[in-house]
Amino acid sequence: MEKIRKMFSRLPFSILRPLLIFVFGISLIFTFNSCEKKEENVIKIGAILPLTGPAGVPGSKILKGLKLAFKDTNIIKLIVEDSKSNVKEGLSAYNKIITIHNPHLIIVGLSSVAKAIMPEIDKRGIPTIITLSNYPKIAKNLKYGLRFFIDAEYEVDQIVKYLQRKKIKKIGIYYMEDEGSFGVFEIFKKKFKYNIVFTETFKKEEINFRNLIIKNKNKRYEALLCIGYGSALGNLIAQIRELGIKVPIFSTSPMGSSDAQKAARNAFYENVFFTTPYFDFNTDSLANLFRQDYRKYYNSDPDFLSAFGFDIGKMIMEFLRINNYVWNNTSFIKFAKNYSSKGVSGKIFSDTLNNINPLIVIVSYTSPNEYKLYLTQNF
């Protein structure tokens, strides 16, 4: 080695410089080829989720579940972009991931963002999983897309059946001004055959609902339907109770998210009914194992959204194991559209509308650890 060093030290700079450039270039080629070979063995998954903005908490919970599902594998490269709960940002994130990373699979959260990229899904032929969206039949006509979440059709069916059982025929409705909430409202209008006394909309960023509530306080309704998500939904329910309105309040699965519950405060335990996947961290062994792992990894408790994220990741890993860790777009779509399993979020089944659904029930909490379940479905 010392002889080689001395030999190089005696060379004139005019010869040494191009020689060094040549050696450096060769090393770059080997490094690039090595990276390229490694990249060939990696499954690249783009995740476009709302990590900030009004849907930031639900989006973060989905992402945590996904990461937990992939934590023991090095075959998955998760490429995460924040849509900021915004359509324009979500579309920009989608184009960025497609252009730079050439992913095998895309996971996209929120109805509004999913609808914005929908024209691109079949055109590009990249399998796409829509989540955090209960917009009715959102994936129905997609060849390369499917929804892994709850379809509002199933949620509204449960709510309408319960209202019929309780002979509630007059209802008031508050719904958020976004794609998913509007979709739930439209389905409810079609399925509820009795009297909708009033409808009011509210914004995602809304904090003070008092004037809106007082405006309708003295109207004759027997129950309220509040559709939305996040702290806005929770604040609406809290203020309804603060203004002395005691009628039952119904909502959909986003009411089960921790940010909505926290904003609702004690009102959450006051005659509030909402749809949720049928599983229990306390009694289901698979869900309980997931909760223990989640607590160990994140030092916090999971909710049903974290469970959805984990089950999406579990489905992807299951496909890879069955196919000897070789990715094929057509094979994955066929596998996913026929998927059924026992997941952390309960019994999961696929349907003819390109949905992967959990079993849905209605739940009502009377305290943090006490609740009642209603109308278990049998599909």
- Total Cβ atoms within 10 A of residue 59: 27
- Could you tell me if 55 and 161 lie in one domain? no
For residues 142 and 162, state if they share a domain.
no
- Tokens read off for 131: 């989540």
Same domain, 211 and 294: no
Whether 219 maps to a domain, the answer reads yes
Residues 163 and 184 in one domain: yes
Q: Are 253 and 150 in contact (CB under 8 A)?
A: yes
Same domain, 132 and 243: no
**Mean pLDDT of residues grouped by 10 in the chain (379 residues)?**
51 51 47 46 96 94 97 95 96 96 97 95 97 93 96 92 95 95 95 96 95 96 96 97 97 92 96 90 87 95 92 97 95 96 91 92 92 67
CA distance 118 to 46: 15
pLDDT of residue 15: 53
Reduced 3-state DSSP string for 110-143:
CHHHHHHHHHHHHHHCCCEEEECCCCCCCCCCCC
Looking at the structure, tell me whether residues 135 and 86 fall in a common domain: yes
The per-residue pLDDT for 324 is 94
Q: Which residue from 90, 146, 157, 166 is spatially nearest to 334, judged by alpha carbons?
A: 146
Together in a domain, 144 and 180: no
Partners of 364 in beta bridges: 372
* Short-list 226, 196, 227, CA closest to 111: 227
Domain check: are 163 and 269 in the same one? Answer: yes
Residue 187 within any structural domain of the chain: yes
Write the DSSP symbol of residue 85: T
Whether 174 and 225 have beta carbons less than 8 Å apart is answered as yes
Residue 249 lies in a domain: yes
* Rounded Cα gap, residues 117 and 87, in angstroms: 9
Residue type, 358: P
The number of domains in the chain is 2
Tally of residues, the chain: 379
What is the arrangement of strands in the sheet containing 43-49, beginning at the earlier edge strand? 76-82, 43-49, 105-109, 128-131, 145-148, 355-358, 346-350, 341-343
Q: Does the residue 29 lie in any domain? A: no
Residues 245 and 370 in one domain: yes
Strands (E), 124-233: 128-131, 145-148, 170-176, 195-202, 223-227
Q: How far is CA 263 from the centre of its chain?
A: 20
142 belongs to a structural domain: yes
Report which of 292, 309, 301, 298 is spatially closest to residue 345, judged by C-alpha positions.
309
Q: What is the pLDDT of residue 281?
A: 79
In a domain, 56, yes or no: yes
| Closest by CA position to 156, among listed 131, 138, 171, 136 | 136
Q: What CATH number should be reported for the domain holding residue 237? A: 3.40.50.2300
pLDDT at residue 29, as a whole number:
45
347-363 pLDDT, tens digit per residue, is 899 999 999 998 889 99
Beta-carbon-side half-sphere exposure of residue 372 (alpha carbons within 13 Å): 9
The answer to whether the Cα torsion of 361, 366, 371, 375 is positive or negative is negative
Residues 83 and 192 occupy one common structural domain = no
> Containing domain of residue 207, as a range?
153-278+362-374
Task: Specify whether 251 is located in the same domain as 141.
Answer: no
Residue range 197-217, pLDDT digits in tens: 999 999 999 999 999 999 999
Residue 366 lies in a domain: yes
Do residues 165 and 311 both lie within one domain?
no
Asked, for residue 199, whether it belongs to a domain, the answer is yes
Contact 249, 264 (CB under 8 A): no
